[in-house]
Chain A
Amino acid sequence: MNTVLFLILFPVIVAILLLVLRQLAVRKFIVVASTIVLIVASIFLVVQYFNTGAVFFEFGSYAINLGIFIIEVILAAIIIFISIKHKQFLAALLMLIGAAATIWFEIAHGEEVHAANNLFVDNLSLIMTIIIGVIGGLIALFSLGYMEDYHHHHPNVKNRVPFFFFIVYVFLGAMFGVVFANNLMWLFFFWEITTFCSFFLIGYGRDEVAIKNAFNALKMNLLGGLGFSAAIIFLFTNANTIELNQLPGLASAVVLLPVALLSFAGMTKSAQMPFSSWLLGAMVAPTPVSALLHSSTMVKAGVYLIIRLSPVFAFVDGGALLGLFVSMVGAVTFLITAFMAISQTDAKRVLAYSTISNLGLIIVCAGIGSYQLVWAAIMIVIFHAVAKALLFLSVGTVEHNLGDRVIESMDGLITKMPVVAVGMVIGIAGMFLAPFGMLISKWAALEGLVTANPILTVFVAFGSAATLFFWTKWLGKIIMIKEKPAGFEAKIPTSEKFTLTTLAILTVVACLGFSLISKYSLEPFIFANYGNTYMLSQSNVAILVMMMAFVIVLPLSLLFHKDINYRPQYLAGTNTGEKEKFYGSLGLTREITLRSFYLSNIFGEEKLFKLGVISSILLIIIMFGVGM
């Protein structure tokens, strides 16, 4: 229990230290040391609790609840002040309503509210702990070098690096709070803090676009937050409980509406359609922010909550129908964002759409809530976190070296920046290719959906086809063998190099060790909560591991020199004799340039986005209808 408290409070203390001690050398020391401490503490917590099942802690008192309430009110006041200052009255209004609800609830019921257990740890929290502690910590480490470079590349942006790190660490602390909280009011407190943190990080650049997108994110997440507080008020007044672990045991009349509201909150936080635009807008922030939002914090909080609700969908009367519509929102999001990713030329946007798409698949699985699908959902969370962190940070490093982050300029990255390129290949392969991570979870998802609701597999079938297309064309660009331009020298700061390598190794380890992860952390959790457990059959695991081994070992054959007669590419007889050059019209010497398919006529953002927004809004309305 002390470790749990430590994990929540330690990042906050580090954050304050970083805000006060502003020297670069001191910051370096603190960040490196705290990353090590975070990782060690996360692993220590796992060692402490991975065998104990769910452990609940009463910890809490009226004083703590009051303290949380006061901080909430102060933060709300700050947000309202900033919103009004920027003439964002809608944001101010949403915050005001939220704050009013909180204050009313505190005055009306503050003293009666009592949770038997405020905090808890189970294997799902532990998995999230590792993701937040290790990946979050590594991202903070990466930011050390990156933010120096960032201000070098963006001389117009005011240097507020201490503030940046302050927010990053508060963010991590709040995420720990989200995954350990059993008291929904506490969970909501940490939930809102992640909203505010992402608001400040997206707006870091303080230019017009950054401010606009930051407020966009704030508004959508505050709307979700309103859903959350409505759920708490409804639950307390009707069922007299505010504890997460009590939900599956409640009568369907009192639990369905709050669960619909909480799912709604989860959807806004996970940037599901129609709220996907805030996560895309978040791209204006420095790249580590994107990595943080996409892999270990923020969006993962949303799907975490929905996974926690899945026993309600599975076991409560009428929960299945509610869950079906939650799943449908996820399914529409999964499909449409996978399509839209095809038409994107900006690497970060491709990654963003792919994130939203994967989160959609997690929600599809959690909404059905069968033991097999929850297994798949959590596996996607794990693989997505590590591979996406790797990919975002790699794109950040590439951007600083190539000058932009357009996929077209990554031609022949493997010859220009071999180490980063190999990392990206690992990340991309981990995202969609058999036999690696994500594919294993998609496999389980497909198997689970066929038994639960075969129509949902249609979304997976088409969505996966699109996924294949946009990843492969990017992969192809990276591994092209192209002459390195003369004078090109990649500069990668040590902290970035270290983080990228570690994440690449972690991705490989997660892929190779998935059956161990499943056996020791996932299966006990699934069994305890769903009465049954899922695992791929032994022979399939053996085949998968064998395939992985081959994919890893076969490239070693490149080391052996082979008797090959090297010739330039076929250029219809117009080769100049120099590599990659040909005679164009009028005998001019030209260089080969190759451009990919983006199919924007078919998969263009505009049309599809409208379609997605309309259908998801309809589905959410039906979802609330079912909840009532």
Chain B
Amino acid sequence: MSGINVWISVVLYIIFAPIAGGLIAGIDRIISARMQGRVGPPLLQPFYDVFKLMAKESIAVNRQQKLYVFCFLFFVIVTGAIFFAGGDLLLAIFALTLASIFLIIAAYSTFSPYAYIGAEREMLQVMAYEPMVILTVVGMFMVTKSFNVLDIASYSQPLLYTLPGIFLGFLFILTIKFRKSPFDISMSHHAHQEIVRGVITEFSGPELAMVEVAHWYENVFLLGIVCLFFASNWIIAIVLAIVVYLLEIYIDNNNSRLKWQHTLGSAWIVALILGVGNIAFLALR
């Protein structure tokens, strides 16, 4: 992609990603409600929530936390911008890690017991999914010989055929990244699992709105990676992303939270078997 096109896609991403992300969240809430035998909120409820939060008074334990939360949002947006501009996939992953660290730091800075536990568990989550994320990028490079999102997307064959193990492994850690049960250990949106919401306990009002919006951006980015596995045909790619998300909703509503040991252990075992297995297969071929 050359000059101006890059900037157009970045701007489009910045504008439309939160809309898509918010809609996905709305659909998620309706489907989850139906699965639990409830009617559920209106489709646009996530937007109503965020607008209401933004209008609220800023309450905080200290001044720094707001800065860190803003950095979290900012670098999540940078991540997606690098990705949708067709940039370097590794760089996008690193930017996302930086963003996650800012969220953790924000929770730490409050010196609050609940946020602290949440932050520690968030770190465990990062440690659990990080190897599989890196192996995913490695696998994509081995097939396409490029780290460039644009090159990967325009590869002639669907990556799914050569990277089935990596795809399944990525699906597994996607549950952690989407903060779905059974791996929603740092914060859960299910009230039956926790009343005090882990890592975001001390954020309220506009800060909480920023966290929500950041998650929308992040989810769109993650689904973008899912699409890369079938990028040669964008209709199938989007169908694939929808199926994956529905699957995640299904898993979310049919599991209760596991201990952190299970999150870390299972994610690493999956990365070792599916991820490393797939890479070894490609290397020996």
- Interface, chain A (partner B; CB < 8 A): 411-412, 433-435, 439, 443, 446-447, 450, 453-455, 457-458, 460-462, 464-466, 468-469, 472-473, 475-477, 479-482, 537, 539-540, 543-544, 547, 550-551, 554-555, 557-558, 562-572, 580, 592, 594, 596-597, 602
Interface segment out of the listed B27-35, B239-247, B275-283: B275-283
Given A476-B105, A562-B66, A594-B116, are A457 and B98 neighbors across the interface (CB < 8 Å)?
Answer: no
Instruction: Determine the distance from Cα of A127 to Cα of B244 in the docked complex, in whole angstroms.
Output: 50
Chain B residues with CB under 8 Å of A562's CB are: 58, 63, 66
Query: What are 12 A-B pairs with beta-carbon distances under 8 A?
Result: A434-B91, A457-B138, A458-B275, A458-B279, A461-B135, A464-B134, A472-B123, A473-B120, A540-B87, A565-B59, A594-B116, A602-B264
Instruction: With both chains docked as a complex, state the minimum distance between the C-beta of B210 and any C-beta of chain A, in angstroms.
Output: 13
Chain A residues with CB under 8 Å of B280's CB are: 455
Chain A residues with CB under 8 Å of B123's CB are: 468-469, 472-473, 597
A466-B127 in contact (CB<8A): yes
A446-B113 in contact (CB<8A): no
Residue in B128, B134, B142 whose CB lies within 8 Å of A461: B134
Closest to B267 in A: A465
A564-B58 in contact (CB<8A): yes
Given A447-B147, A454-B138, A570-B112, are A551 and B60 neighbors across the interface (CB < 8 Å)?
Answer: no
Closest to A567 in B: B59
A564-B63 in contact (CB<8A): yes
A435-B126 in contact (CB<8A): no
Instruction: With both chains docked as a complex, state the minimum distance between the C-beta of B270 and any C-beta of chain A, in angstroms.
Output: 13
Q: How large is the interface on B (under 10, 10 to 19, 20 to 34, 35 or more residues)?
A: 35 or more
B138-A443 in contact (CB<8A): no
B111-A570 in contact (CB<8A): no
Instruction: With both chains docked as a complex, state the minimum distance between the C-beta of A594 and any C-beta of chain B, in angstroms.
Output: 5
Given A479-B109, A551-B71, are A570 and B202 neighbors across the interface (CB < 8 Å)?
Answer: yes
B94: Cβ under 8 A from any A Cβ:
yes
Instruction: With both chains docked as a complex, state the minimum distance between the C-beta of A503 and any C-beta of chain B, in angstroms.
Output: 22
A481-B61 in contact (CB<8A): yes
**Chain B positions 41 through 68: 1 when the CB is less than 8 Å from some CB of chain A, otherwise 0:** 0000000000000000111111110110
B127-A554 in contact (CB<8A): no
Chain B residues with CB under 8 Å of A596's CB are: 120
Chain A residues with CB under 8 Å of B113's CB are: 569, 571, 592, 594
Chain B residues with CB under 8 Å of A564's CB are: 58-60, 63, 66
Given A564-B58, A597-B124, are A455 and B279 neighbors across the interface (CB < 8 Å)?
Answer: yes
Instruction: Determine the distance from Cα of A168 to Cα of B277 in the docked complex, in whole angstroms.
Output: 49
Instruction: Determine the distance from Cα of A509 to Cα of B14 in the docked complex, in whole angstroms.
Output: 31
Instruction: Determine the distance from Cα of A430 to Cα of B216 in the docked complex, in whole angstroms.
Output: 29
Residue in B94, B135, B196, B275 whose CB lies within 8 Å of A434: B94
B172: Cβ under 8 A from any A Cβ:
no
A460-B134, A569-B110, A570-B202 given; 12 more Cβ-contact pairs under 8 Å: A412-B111, A455-B276, A455-B283, A465-B128, A472-B105, A547-B95, A550-B71, A558-B67, A569-B111, A569-B113, A569-B115, A602-B261
- Interface, chain B (partner A; CB < 8 A): 57-64, 66-67, 70-71, 74-75, 78, 82, 87-88, 90-91, 94-95, 97-98, 101, 104-105, 107-116, 119-120, 123-124, 126-128, 130-132, 134-135, 138, 141-142, 147, 196, 201-202, 261, 264, 268, 271, 275-276, 279-280, 282-283
A477-B108 in contact (CB<8A): yes
Instruction: Determine the distance from Cα of A62 to Cα of B127 in the docked complex, in whole angstroms.
Output: 58
B94-A570 in contact (CB<8A): no
Instruction: Determine the distance from Cα of A385 to Cα of B248 in the docked complex, in whole angstroms.
Output: 45
A465-B130 in contact (CB<8A): yes
Instruction: Sort A-B residue pairs by CB-CB distance and give the 9 closest, nearest first.
Output: A476-B108, A569-B112, A434-B94, A465-B130, A461-B134, A461-B131, A481-B62, A469-B127, A434-B98
B138-A439 in contact (CB<8A): no
Given A458-B276, A594-B111, are A434 and B97 neighbors across the interface (CB < 8 Å)?
Answer: yes
Chain A residues with CB under 8 Å of B283's CB are: 453-455
A465-B131 in contact (CB<8A): yes
Chain A residues with CB under 8 Å of B66's CB are: 562, 564
Closest to B282 in A: A454
Residue in B61, B70, B124, B126 whose CB lies within 8 Å of A569: B61
Chain A residues with CB under 8 Å of B196's CB are: 570, 572
Instruction: Determine the distance from Cα of A550 to Cα of B98 in the docked complex, in whole angstroms.
Output: 12
Residue in B59, B91, B98, B104 whose CB lies within 8 Å of A540: B91
Instruction: Determine the distance from Cα of A423 to Cα of B156 in the docked complex, in whole angstroms.
Output: 49
Chain B residues with CB under 8 Å of A433's CB are: 97-98, 101
A464-B130 in contact (CB<8A): yes
Instruction: With both chains docked as a complex, state the minimum distance between the C-beta of B112 and any C-beta of chain A, in angstroms.
Output: 4
Closest to B58 in A: A564
Chain B residues with CB under 8 Å of A461's CB are: 130-132, 134-135, 138, 271
Closest to A483 in B: B111
Given A446-B134, A465-B127, A570-B112, are A472 and B91 neighbors across the interface (CB < 8 Å)?
Answer: no
Chain A residues with CB under 8 Å of B282's CB are: 454
Chain A residues with CB under 8 Å of B127's CB are: 465-466, 468-469
Chain A residues with CB under 8 Å of B62's CB are: 481, 566
Instruction: Determine the distance from Cα of A596 to Cα of B271 in the docked complex, in whole angstroms.
Output: 26
Closest to B108 in A: A476
- Max chain A Cβ within 10 angstroms of own Cβ: one of B61, B110, B114, B126: B61
Closest to A594 in B: B116
Chain B residues with CB under 8 Å of A594's CB are: 111, 113, 116
